Amino acid sequence: MKEISEQWLKAAQDDLHVINKIISDEHLTHIVAFHSQQCIEKSFKAVIEEFEAGSFKIHNLDRLFEIIRYYVELDVNMILIEQLDKLYTDARYPGELGLLPDGKPGLQDAKKFYDFAKYVYETIKTKLEERD
């Protein structure tokens, strides 16, 4: 695996570590959503770097997935992708604080986002390591 791809994956892993520390705090569920989005984005960018698929300064998971899907087989839940894309923007600023249609993500939502981010990270990491 290329060094730059490893760096992206290390950064994604750091997001998972942050989530792991705050996952049970009901006041930080929007931050779990933010770091879940970041983990997935960084994992996708590791694939882009590994396969030299271009340089994309975008944060939209749906658009990034459209780029990487040709390089790595990955079963993604597009509803979660859409939710995380929305929460990514909203969770960074006061006011809305990363709201789902029914309000702030609950602990179950946070766990679902974390599990999904971990799945994406681990799957991509494994597939890129298999290339060596």
129 belongs to a structural domain: no
- Number of structural domains in the chain: 1
Our measurement of the distance from residue 24's CA atom to the centroid of its chain's CA atoms, rounded to an integer in Å, reads 19
Average pLDDT over residues 111-129: 98
84 belongs to a structural domain: yes
Angstrom distance (rounded) from CA 131 to CA 86: 33
Distances (CA, A) of 89 to 3, 7, 13, 69: 29, 24, 21, 23
Q: Which domain holds residue 104?
A: 3-124
130 belongs to a structural domain: no
91 pLDDT exceeds 80?
no
5 pLDDT exceeds 60?
yes
DSSP string of 15-41, one letter each residue: HHHHHHHHTT-GGGHHHHHHHHHHHHH
104 pLDDT exceeds 90?
no
Domain containing 41 — which CATH number? Answer: 1.20.120.330
Quick one: pLDDT band at residue 99, thresholds 50, 70, 90?
low
Our measurement of the distance from residue 112's CA atom to the centroid of its chain's CA atoms, rounded to an integer in Å, reads 12
**What is the reported pTM?**
0.90
131 belongs to a structural domain: no
